[in-house]
Amino acid sequence: MNPHTVEQHTLQPPLPRTIVTGASSGIGWALSLHLAHLGVPVVAIGRDAGRLQALAARHALIDPWPADLGRIGEIDALAAQIVARFPEVGVLINNAGIQHDVRLDDAGYGSSDIQREVDVNLIAPVALTRALLPHFQGLGRACVVNVTSALAHAPKRTAAVYSATKAGLRLFTQALRVQLRGSSVRVVEAVMPLVDTPMTQGRGRGKLPADQAAQALVAGLLAGRAELHIGKARWVPALQRWAPGLLARILQKA
């Protein structure tokens, strides 16, 4: 008997259908699989259609949805199409991200790279959230999860734009939480440490495996917490309060 079939019939979904962006690799891939194994249907968004098909082949509850979130003008239509096909969708995990691990004055890093990094990391999650918000507000329960980074608290020397976008996403998350206070829409921030993904390949030590990062995020979400500090990022609030200089030195070299 297929173990996936058993799970689908014996486990009650702890969450409504969930959108995961950046699902074709890394944390998004791991999140999609972990949620599906818990019985949660997933809309897996990513640019690589082949990778998404491979992901969907791993579990029947994963629906692949190829899309380039850097095309900001297409996000409203993307949201409308997803809601039309899956009117029960009630969770958005804004996970997609790009990091160029270079100095701002690097000769190979140009304006188009900056634009795409800002669009994918910050503008896209804001725009996708805004597009889905009317639908979410009409549901009995819904949730927006924004995946940020310890670099939202202090920058990395060779990731100025990435650090800035994650700081912007963190502040947007806080502002949205204030706006939606008292509504049925929860707003959650998941602060990640250095996670072992294709984006971080070849740098850093002691990286958290992507599947462990995904499991910790989902566990925190199910526990009802509004701020999730994953793995080594759990030390960030204390360091920021009691030793901000040390935190800054650690993250400059991340």
Residues marked active site are found at 162
User: What is the CB neighbour count within 10 angstroms for residue 242?
Assistant: 9
Nearest to 19 by CA among 102, 113, 95: 95
Angle between the N-to-C axes of helices 160-179 and 111-118, in degrees from 0 to 180, rounded to the nearest 10: 30
CA–CA dist 52, 62 (Å, integer) = 9
Q: Are the C-beta atoms of 91 and 145 separated by less than 8 Å?
A: yes
Q: Are the C-beta atoms of 43 and 20 separated by less than 8 Å?
A: yes
* Strand-strand pairing, 195-196 and 208-209: parallel
* Strand-strand pairing, 195-196 and 18-21: unpaired
Phi, psi of 230 (to 5 degrees): -90, 140
User: What is the CB neighbour count within 10 angstroms for residue 110?
Assistant: 9
Q: Are the C-beta atoms of 45 and 22 separated by less than 8 Å?
A: yes
Nearest to 189 by CA among 157, 159, 160, 153: 153
